[in-house]
Amino acid sequence: MIPKAKRAIKAKLLPWFAENKRSMPWRSKRTPYRVWISELMLQQTRVDQATPYFHRFMKRFPSLKSLATASQADVLKMWEGLGYYSRARNLHKAAQIIMEQHGGRFPKTAESMMKLPGVGSYTAAAIGSLAFNLDLAVLDGNVIRVLTRLFAYTNDTQSTKAKKELQKLADRLLISGDAGNFNEAMMELGATVCLPRNPACSECPLSRTCLGFQSGRPTDYPVRAPRKKIPHIIVGAAVVTNRKGEVLIAQRRAEDMLGGLWEFPGGKQEAGETIQQCIVRELREELGVNVRTGEFLITVKHAYSHFTMDMHTYFAKISSGRPRPIHCQDYRWVDISKLRTFPYSKADLYIITELERQLEKES
Ligand code: SF4
């Protein structure tokens, strides 16, 4: 089956890709730096959503050097809204390491790339194959879908065993000397034809070799064990204002989730607490101030990979104490018009949008 599939990939899939590939900004000028940034962005969002982020990022940091010498806050600001902020922090650190230890040149082997923070086997294979034409096969969600359908593969794809087996399969199918095209063609097929719910098998260049298609039930693949239910948490957050009309924001600690990003202070509701009591306690613990809560502003519903959250947000005023960073890295009083100069997570950006909307309504 593998030699037959390999022949079909060479004779059908690669020509199909040459004819049908979508135009993407990172495909035009292919440098290791551009491939690296685009691959990291594509690991967390779709092509159409990643494209404006990519343009913005490249405009602000056109070279590895400009990224390495930027502040972390600037890098997080350019990543704002993409999620998985540890990737942005690692990207920044890795750029500094490349400047300091590799003379500003991207390392050319998978082993040396994988020593950089945040570069795993997927990213190394993508950069290696696309920028240096190394024989490395990429295994992402799209490739996994195509492979499991092509071979009617029935193991749970979340398991380590399956990941290893599928990586081996991809390695064996790889067209040596043309790894970049092979990887991109597999990913493109998964993204545009071999779709999760409605695969367009009648238009697929691999349908004659596809066991999933021949079974008549291609969507039975990939097989995934049912997901465990993820926890749901309730959070209270405060928009604390002072007499000057400034707003208090806090910077999350580097070691915490969303580390380095700014937020409206608050935290997780504890058993038996009202949201207002939660906000009062959290502000005391985080910034050492006592607050009086006021009007309700917004409830932000947000889903992270490992939990979902309702964040109830209220206005508040300090009744005693001066802020100091206890359970946060830093804090600032900021004019509402300057709030967006700091980097935030998506959930806090919703709060800013609602604040701006209310201000506009009042003016
Ligand atoms: Fe996917 Fe259908 Fe093509 Fe098989 S024939 S690879 S299921 S699109």
- Residue 76 belongs to domain with CATH number: 1.10.340.30
Predicted local confidence at residue 35, as pLDDT: 94
Average the pLDDT over 75-101 and give the result. 93
Cα 200 to Cα 110: distance, rounded to the nearest angstrom:
34
Ligand 1 pocket, mutate which of 4, 195, 206 (most atoms under 8 A from CB): 206
> Do residue 79 and residue 216 come from a single domain?
yes
In a domain, 226, yes or no: no
In a domain, 225, yes or no: no
pTM: 0.79
Check pLDDT > 90 for residue 124. yes
> Do residue 28 and residue 136 come from a single domain?
yes
> Do residue 244 and residue 200 come from a single domain?
no
- Domain extent, residue 260, equals 232-362
Pick from 296, 297, 278, 282: which is nearest to 250 by CA? Answer: 282
pLDDT confidence bin for 146, thresholds 50/70/90 = very high
In a domain, 303, yes or no: yes
- % of the chain surpassing 90 pLDDT: 90
| Any ligand 1 atom below 6 A from CB of 152 | no
How many A from CA of 14 to the centre of ligand 1?
15
User: Alpha helices, DSSP H only, in 102-199?
Assistant: 110-113, 121-132, 141-150, 160-173, 179-192
> Do residue 216 and residue 236 come from a single domain?
no
In a domain, 227, yes or no: no
> Do residue 56 and residue 137 come from a single domain?
yes
> Do residue 256 and residue 322 come from a single domain?
yes
pLDDT confidence bin for 224, thresholds 50/70/90 = very high
What is the number of the ligand 1 atom nearest to the C-alpha of 221?
Answer: 7
> Do residue 216 and residue 313 come from a single domain?
no
Q: What are phi and psi of 127, to 5 degrees?
A: -65, -45
> Do residue 10 and residue 126 come from a single domain?
yes
* Number of structural domains found in the chain: 2
| Any ligand 1 atom below 6 A from CB of 213 | yes
Check pLDDT > 90 for residue 210. yes
| Any ligand 1 atom below 6 A from CB of 190 | no
Check pLDDT > 80 for residue 363. no
The neighbour count for residue 257, using CB atoms within 10 Å, is 13
Average the pLDDT over 207-234 and give the result. 94
Predicted local confidence at residue 144, as pLDDT: 97
Predicted local confidence at residue 226, as pLDDT: 85
Over residues 245-296, the pLDDT tens digits come to 999 999 999 888 898 999 999 999 999 999 999 999 999 999 999 999 999 9
Sequence-ordered strand ranges (E) for the chain: 232-240, 247-251, 262-263, 266-268, 290-303, 308-320, 330-334
In a domain, 67, yes or no: yes
183, 184, 185, 189: CA torsion to nearest 10: 110
> Do residue 158 and residue 20 come from a single domain?
yes
> Do residue 159 and residue 183 come from a single domain?
yes
In a domain, 121, yes or no: yes
> Do residue 332 and residue 193 come from a single domain?
no
> Do residue 176 and residue 236 come from a single domain?
no
